[in-house]
Homo-oligomer: A and B are copies of this chain.
Amino acid sequence: MITHPAFSCAPWNLTETELNLDVLPQSESVFALSNGHVGWRGNLDEGEPHGLPGTYLNGLHELRRLPYAEAGYGYPESGQSVINVTNGKVLRLLVDDEPFDLRYGQLHHHERVLDFRTGLLHRTAEWTSPAGRRVRLRSTRLVSLTQRAIAALRWEIEPVDEPVQVVVQSELIANEQMPGGEGDPRAASSVDDPLESQEHHADGTSLRLIHRTRHSGLLVAAAAGHRVQGPTGTQTHADSSADLARFTVVGRLEPGQRLCVDKTVAYGWSGARSRPAVRDQVDAALAAGERTGWQGLVDEQRAYLDDFWDRSDVEVEGDPEVQQAVRFALFHVLQAGARAEERAIAAKGLTGSGYDGHSFWDTEGFVLPMLTYTAPLTVAHALRWRHSTLPAARDRARQLGLRGATFPWRTIAGEECSAYWPAGTAAFHINAAVADAVIRYTHATGDTAFERDIGLELLVETARMWASLGHHDHDGVFHIDGVTGPDEYSAVCDDNTYTNLMAQANLRAAADCAEHHQEIARGLGVDHDETEQWRAAADGMAVPYDKRLEVHEQAVGYTGHAEWDFDNTGPDDYPLMLHYPYFDLYRKQVIKQADLVLAMFVRGEAFTAEQKARNFEYYERITVRDSSLSACCQAVLAAETGHLGLAYDYLGEAATMDLLDLEHNTRDGLHIASLAGTWIALVSGFGGMRSDGGELRFAPRLPPEITRLAFRVTVLGSRLHVEVTRNEARYSLDDGDDSLTVRHFGRRLTVAPGRPAVRTLPDLPLRPAPQQPPGRAPHHRTPAVKDD
């Protein structure tokens, strides 16, 4: 049992067995459906009560002025915010003369099931109205992974004991009233009534609303079609006004009779096309969706997901909660990216409006690594989106006095929307994360067309940025000063080790790639001098090291800073950024999230095993994990340095971040990168998978709690199965795949189809357990006794 009172543990679904209105906003995030293009939060069909109504279209945003009490040159003036668009989920119900509203009457039963294999969200409820009418309601919804503009639902009602008259209002509703914010900076900025009506239409079983965003000027259209099955005498009609289109069904149901409404909803938006074009687009999508029909959409969804699970499933024996969690994670990360198609994958996917719907470095840093090996096409799309924002990134670089391109710390459409530069603009490492994602993707797929058309230019433009951002000192050492690394409890430092090592890899990859595609590189203005300059910067890159303590420094001077006063920091003082000023956090040794530890993961070959062990122990003492991005990285390094129990606990934290709402903001949407982190903790942690340097390497080791770990990764078109048990690892390929060379604990091995390679696991050097700051050790989990 996962400890959420109403979530039950099962390997292939997430089931909520009773409705708890207190956690409604969280459950709306957890039960969100999305295909990366359209997102529907798990709001109740009847619209209310709700935590946060949410219908999102990837890329659709409104602009808002960013205010500054003290302005500065280069501060972004305009922010972009995701908005809640036309809600097509709503089917309101009147039972006799009383609205179906779970806050009133008596709820006998309520269950919601998110099925990871079918991609459907099921709901069943049995309820007695305040006037004593008992009904049974069942609904199933999907956001289609195969028809990206389409979401659909099947909704059914039946009386339990007495006949009832029912009125069903299936709606498209725009400009829903939003609940007020609570001042948490991680939440969204609210934009009131963002949509201006352009036209509304209702006819027969069809509804359509077209709006325009007020400031960003984007057209958004929603259309819905209906199919009703009910007793003879059931009547329907449709009407519309500016912000509401409504299809009404009125009928009388005897016990044993059922009213069923199938609703297909299509969405479209554009900043370029005309209203007629957008209208036609959404009508065409609806026509296709309706032709496929409910069962057709359900079947397509299952087929899509069967393929995904076949390529990507992770099996965890011995820990049913983690088994559930990793599939929950795989499912939601897939949903975030599946059909994003040259739009950003946001930090919250399309599950909530947290962080204003912005995309950050964690997409390239955490989400794409997982997708590279599980759904590589989505990665190509995500990086094509980055590539499409190069004009804005070049402008930004120019504004900042740099060459090449500077990608924004947070954005929807490509322009920098970060209003606090020390933790935004200064976090240049996002550019290296983009390059890293390019390198990983091209290595993992061999997609040379992508490398030529997209990858090379991304590498070149980021390399140019690094070369102009840093400088050589009198000894030739290359320094990158005044930047912020991943750890947001430090900022504007010199020679952040993570940044420097990532920039080094970026510079080298750009030089290699440019030499590999000389003609195209010349077209980008790259010559030999420039690649030599990149190599010189990479070769001279400063990597700060404290000789006295024999540890790497997170940044120059870091280990000389005062240590945080953990003894006088109480449990309620976390997350620290809500209780201490940045000035104090920045100048002391206290770490929000893996930074040097992340460097040891993604640039592992830059460190010896002994350095990794010493560094990990040093930074464990001061890392508080106030970011959801930390636990998975710590899990990986804990596993690598032999602290398997600790790694297991960090895995547990990453795995339950949203299911247990560990950061108390799941209401705003899921932590997509942390979900990907669950996969990372398993595959790179206990599977020991690494890809830096271009070779796929494994060094698997299981903690006592996990008896078997099996995962599949797609590499160069082949499906590599890795199965790890206590003492050995088994590498195998699907029939028909090309053979593949990987490393097992440093030794090269070749896997051919039908000829699995089995290797034993070497003994583990024992080291004393590292300490965490008081009260900040990860929760130690004891897994449930047996799988369901």
Contact = CB atoms under 8 A, between A and B. Distances in A.
A422 B419 CA distance: 14
A265 B241 CA distance: 64
B71 A68 contact: no
Given A67-B67, A401-B580, A582-B421, A587 B72 contact: no
A586 to B, nearest CB: 5
B556 A557 contact: yes
B66 A69 contact: yes
A182 interface: no
B72 A69 contact: no
Contacts of A426: 583
Interface in A415-457: 418-422, 424-426
Contact of A70 (B73, B185, B473, B580): B185
Contacts of A471: 562
Contacts of A418: 70
Chain B CB count within 10 A is highest, among A183, A581, A588, for A581
Given A401-B580, A562-B471, A70 B420 contact: yes
Contacts of A73: 577-582
Contact of A69 (B68, B399, B557, B561): B68
Q: How large is the interface on A (under 10, 10 to 19, 20 to 34, 35 or more residues)?
A: 35 or more
A119 interface: no
A126 interface: no
A638 to B, nearest CB: 28
Interface in A478-511: 479, 481-483, 491-492, 494
Interface in A715-731: none
A474 interface: yes
B400 A494 contact: no
Interface string A64-92: 00111111111000010000000000000
Contacts of A67: 67-69
A194 to B, nearest CB: 18
Interface string A286-319: 0000000000000000000000000000000000
A548 interface: yes
B183 A492 contact: no
Interface string A568-590: 00000000011111111011100
A560 interface: yes
A412 to B, nearest CB: 15
A185 B71 contact: yes
Chain B CB count within 10 A is highest, among A68, A399, A419, for A68
B583 A425 contact: yes
A139 B6 CA distance: 84
Contacts of A399: 581
Interface string A124-138: 000000000000000
B492 A401 contact: no
Contacts of A583: 74, 400, 421-422, 425-426, 482, 492
User: A interface, by DSSP: helix, strand, loop or mixed?
Assistant: loop
B400 A584 contact: yes
Contact of A401 (B422, B494, B584): B584
A421 B587 contact: no
Contacts of A580: 73-74, 401
A318 B400 CA distance: 47
Contacts of A69: 66-68, 79, 419-420
A560 B473 contact: yes
A69 to B, nearest CB: 3
Contact of A425 (B479, B482, B581): B581
A492 B492 contact: yes
A471 B582 CA distance: 18
B481 A581 contact: no
A491 B562 CA distance: 18
A421 B492 contact: no
Contacts of A482: 561, 583-584, 586-588
A550 to B, nearest CB: 14
A587 to B, nearest CB: 3
Nearest to A480: B587
Chain B CB count within 10 A is highest, among A71, A73, A494, for A73
A457 B30 CA distance: 57
Interface in A220-270: none
Nearest to A184: B71
Interface in A31-79: 66-74, 79
Interface in A542-571: 548, 556-557, 560-562
A431 to B, nearest CB: 14
Nearest to A549: B474
Interface in A164-200: 183, 185
Nearest to A189: B69
A394 B556 CA distance: 33
Nearest to A77: B69
Contact of A400 (B79, B419, B581): B581
A364 to B, nearest CB: 21
A410 B584 CA distance: 19
B72 A420 contact: yes
18 contacts: A68-B69, A69-B420, A71-B183, A71-B185, A72-B577, A72-B582, A73-B578, A399-B581, A401-B581, A401-B584, A421-B583, A425-B581, A471-B562, A479-B560, A481-B561, A481-B588, A482-B584, A492-B583
7 smallest A-B Cβ distances: which pairs?
A482-B587, A69-B419, A67-B67, A74-B581, A471-B562, A66-B69, A481-B587
Given A72-B420, A72-B577, A556-B557, 4 more contacts: A73-B577, A74-B582, A401-B580, A482-B588
